[in-house]
Amino acid sequence: MSTALSSAPDARPHVDIAPMKLVIVGHVDHGKSTLIGRLLHDTGSLPEGKVEAVRAMSERRGMPMEWAFVLDALQAERDQGITIDTTQIFFKTERRPYVIIDAPGHKEFLKNMVSGAASADAAILVVDAKDGVQEQTRRHGYILHLLGLDRVVVAVNKMDLVDHDEARFRQVAEDVRHYLAGMGIVPAHILPVSARHGDGLATLSDRMPWFEGPSLLQALDELQAKPLPVELPLRFPIQDVYKFDERRILAGRIESGRIAVGDTLLFNPTNTTARVRSIEAWAVDGPVMSASAGQSIGITLDDQLFVERGHVASHRAEPPVETNVFRARIFWLGRAPLETGRRYKLKLATMEHTVEVQAIERVIDVADLSQRPADRIERNEVGEIILRARAKLAVDPFVDNPRLGRFVLIDGYDMAGGGLVSMDGFPDQRARNEPTSQNITAVEHRVTTNARWQANGHKSGVLWLTGLSGAGKSTLAVELEQALFRKGWQAYVLDGDNIRFGLSADLGFAPEDRAENIRRVGEVAALFARAGTLVITAFISPYREDRDRARSVAPELFHEVYVKADLEVCETRDPKGLYKKARKGEISEFTGISAPYEAPVSAELEVDTGSLSLAESVERLLGYVEANFGLNGRE
């Protein structure tokens, strides 16, 4: 270890340093409570009379000195012999104070462990030297990963029961290391200890001369506390708006970044901006000019915008993602399982929204990290899902900013699960069709759309074909165009060939590019339609949000057609050989394989090309067109 890190002695009394919060996890009976009790004793942290009380308690129950009783304050615990809930216990070393959150090992009590571990700075994972890695060792390890807790010390306990055998220790250490590596956790140390006898806790043990250290306390003292996310982009979720006096104060906690008087703030989801006029505070000397992550503050603005709880302020250059659909990795604590199609209340920072489980992608087996498809996630299981809200949320992918990248789900009155946000495969929906220029004025046309219809002999509009690659969109579009042309109609197909090579030549296939491509197609299609043409578009257009936006350009002219075929059918057809390439990993972000397809919920027309022949499909489309675009008296 570098000496530079520990050279300057800290002059401040150590009790004024924020305590490091420790969570102790591990399989039931692997000795967590004993380890804590002994740690408290060895650091001189027990109140007077406690050792005697524990001795008396142990004797009364006919047991040898049982250090676990230090924590077992509740009658219920002592009777069951297991710790039932999170407690918080304080101890201190020369370096700093610690708070121990005693997390239980009992299988049913995951919610308590989560409650403790979520607020912890670091974890001690206790593993029995004899039993080795067990189910809850793995489960707790996985939860640490989900909670973003990456400061982990592993204590291989009960070394006395394996005769302080080095080989056994190495084997258990290797098992733990291997499992944690699968979740990206590299433990700071893996240590042999014997908590009952105090071996390896405060000091190293003579009985394990083969271990060079450090001791558990030394290992803990080496850990660096996790600092506040001050350097991340500003996220200031509004908690409340107060008008106790003449001031209108927006109150909240800065989740990340900094804020200063004079800053221009962008508010989500309203997309309005205003400047910070003041930072308000009570009983503070002098005006406050800036504040940073972790502080609960209040601000006033120079403009009386509509702002309420759940809105998020950021700086304009670094806004959060805006979306109504995202992926999530979740852990489920609910009594009833999480199911596809069910609605829950989502709480993310100060936001609350109703969300629907659009899909359950997989359940993860924490025992071996394997995955399997499922239509429900049971209590204490971990899985990956897609959630959809009715409104747009301001979020960050968890990997970018955990503070706006994690959420809980409420089922009825109960908090039923927690999750991490991923935008993998989904685009940022932040408005791209807001005019950038302010000096735009609409020209008033003298030729009305209706006059064009009369001249053409049919109505115009947009037939928006959506479906998987290989579902038959282009084939149908071209057939329909030809059939209509023969009848003397003004019809025109927009597809990848005439858009991707020109108008969208600058775009790729990343989610954002796809969204932008579809936005352009939507705008162009609406122009054609207003010019009197019946436009047939043939794009996968996988995101519901994008199709809805295309519809919003000319809602009265828009008809969504779901060209439906199962993935298996499309993959068998594979007209362009794309599925084969995608399966080999040669094409990334391929819809249906490595990128999502969101089927229409209420398309005007559905054409099932999996069961209809091409001729039948075209027939259906023609019938629909004639019924909806024909002018009275002519058809």
Partner 1 sequence: MAEPTPIRPAGAEPHAAGSIAKPRFDSAAADPYLAARSNHFVSDAAMNHLDALEAQSVYILREAFNKFDRLGMLWSLGKDSNVMLWLAKKAFFGHIPFPAMFCDTGKKFPEMYAFQERYAVEWGLNFVRRDCPPIEEIDPTLPPAARSAARKTEALKRLIAELDLQAVIAGIRRDEEATRAKERVFSPRGENAEWDFRDQPPEFWDQFKTDFAPGTHIRVHPLLHWTELDIWLYIQREGIPLVPLYFSRDGKRYRSLGDMDITNPIKSDADTVEKIIAELRVTKVAERSGRAMDHESEDAFERLRSAGYM
Quick one: 35 or 101, whose CB is closer to partner 1?
101
What is the CA 604 to chain-centroid distance, rounded?
33
Quick one: 155 or 595, whose CB is closer to partner 1?
595
Quick one: 245 or 568, whose CB is closer to partner 1?
245
Amino acid at 248: R
Q: Return the DSSP state at 195.
A: G
Quick one: 49 or 435, whose CB is closer to partner 1?
49
Closest distance to partner 1 from the beta carbon of 273 (Å) = 20
Quick one: 148 or 457, whose CB is closer to partner 1?
148
Strand partners, 122: 22
Amino acid at 508: G
| Pair 599, 560: CB distance under 8 Å | no
Amino acid at 159: M
Phi, psi of 525 (to 5 degrees): -60, -40
Which has the closest alpha carbon to 344: 280, 300, 408? Answer: 408
Whether the bond into 187 is cis, omega within 30 of 0: no
C-alpha R_g of the chain: 31
Give the whole-angstrom CA distance, residue 237 versus residue 201. Answer: 42
Quick one: 425 or 522, whose CB is closer to partner 1?
425
Report the Cα–Cα distance between both ends of the chain, in Å, rounded.
87
> If you search the block for the tokens 């809980």, which residue do you land on?
408
Closest distance to partner 1 from the beta carbon of 108 (Å) = 10
Closest distance to partner 1 from the beta carbon of 61 (Å) = 12
For 25-54, the DSSP string reads EESTTSSHHHHHHHHHHHTT-SPTTHHHHH
Of 33, 215, 422, 541, the active-site residue reads 541
Closest distance to partner 1 from the beta carbon of 454 (Å) = 49
* Token representation of residue 184: 């990206």
Give the whole-angstrom CA distance, residue 107 versus residue 111. Answer: 10
* DSSP tally for the chain: helices H, then strands E: 15, 28
CA angle 626, 630, 634 (to 5 degrees): 110
Closest distance to partner 1 from the beta carbon of 621 (Å) = 35
Closest distance to partner 1 from the beta carbon of 496 (Å) = 20
Closest distance to partner 1 from the beta carbon of 533 (Å) = 36
Quick one: 427 or 467, whose CB is closer to partner 1?
427
In 3-state terms, the chain is what percent helix, strand and coil (to 5)? 30, 30, 40
**Active-site residue, 469 included:** no
Give the whole-angstrom CA distance, residue 40 versus residue 42. Answer: 6
Indicate which residues carry an active-site annotation. 541
